[in-house]
Amino acid sequence: MKGTRRTIAWSIGLAVVLGAPCRAQIPLANKHRIDSLTALLATCTSDTARLALCAEIADGYGSYKVDSTIAVLERGIALAERTDHVKWLAQFNSLITEPLYSRGELWRSMRHGYEAERLYLASGDSLPLADLYNSMGNNLKRQGAWTQAMRYYRINQWLAPRFGQKDVLAYSHMNLGECFLVLGSLDSALYHNEKAAALMDSIHLAYHGKVYANIARVYDLRGDRGMELHFARKALAIGYLERGESREL
């Protein structure tokens, strides 16, 4: 347990140094589009069109205004339930998991995730499950339920390649690597983080900072100071680049 706490503390420390990106203001173009769509929603009489408008408005708010995103998606869920639009009901339940998670409402997020999973499986539509399972795994990971989270990431090891979702596959390797790291399985942690880094390189996915931080932590626990510093510097450099900065490290 002490090693687990130390691993988490080390990771948090590097994350603080890397710096979290500031939440940006909602773009003006998004504001104009949201206003236009909201006005249209008020006069629209087609249930199917109203459901599509709810999805578009929520997409406009995105992560810029989480409370507004949640409110619009809740409206969409209520409308889909009332009109028995199962496909939209599954989609809205899936979409709302991320903003609820970001607001710290972990149980509500999981509850909607379970409902989306049930609806997708009942309809035979497995394509959207990979993104959903990544969100549900992250939720459980945040709660400290590491082994339960790994179940969802492992499913994505099979599901994501089936639909050509290399980004989801990369995230599943990264998240599995982090779980193994916390649980003390260093060989598995290194394997999955290296796989994540290679996949991210192949599709030019700019999220290496966390992967390199995880690898640095593996070498720290192995007592290899040279390799630890090498990957910690790479993590810091990537972190600065992701924020539009440039540093000599």
Supply 239's token pair. Answer: 């972190």
3-state secondary structure of 65: coil
Nearest Cα residue to 60 out of 92, 77, 37 = 37
Q: How far lies 98's CA from each of 40, 145, 170, in Å?
A: 26, 18, 18
Q: What are phi and psi of 111, to 5 degrees?
A: -60, -45
Supply 152's token pair. Answer: 């969802």
As a whole number of angstroms, the distance between CA 115 and CA 87 comes to: 12
Domains of the chain: 27-125 (1.25.40.10), 145-249 (1.25.40.10)
DSSP string, 69-102: HHHHHHHHHHHHHHHT-HHHHHHHHHHTHHHHHH
- CA 246 from chain centre, in angstroms, equals 26
Residues 6+ apart with CB under 8 A from 83: 47, 51
Nearest Cα residue to 96 out of 83, 82, 121, 78 = 78
* pLDDT of the residue at 16: 46
* pLDDT of the residue at 10: 52
Q: Please answer whether residues 41 and 50 qualify as being in contact, where contact means their C-beta atoms are separated by less than 8 angstroms.
A: yes
pTM for this structure? 0.79
* pLDDT of the residue at 182: 95
As a whole number of angstroms, the distance between CA 249 and CA 244 comes to: 15
Residues 6+ apart with CB under 8 A from 209: 18, 235, 236, 238, 239, 242
pLDDT in tens, the chain (249 residues): 545 545 544 554 555 444 444 456 888 888 899 999 999 999 999 999 999 999 999 999 988 899 999 999 999 999 999 999 999 999 999 999 999 999 999 999 999 999 999 999 999 988 899 999 999 999 999 999 999 999 999 999 999 999 999 999 999 999 999 999 999 999 999 999 999 999 999 998 877 788 999 999 999 999 999 999 999 998 888 765 555 544 444
Burial class (CB in 10 A: 0-12, 13-18, 19+), 224: middle
As a whole number of angstroms, the distance between CA 103 and CA 61 comes to: 14
Angle at 67 between CA 66 and CA 73, to 5 degrees: 90
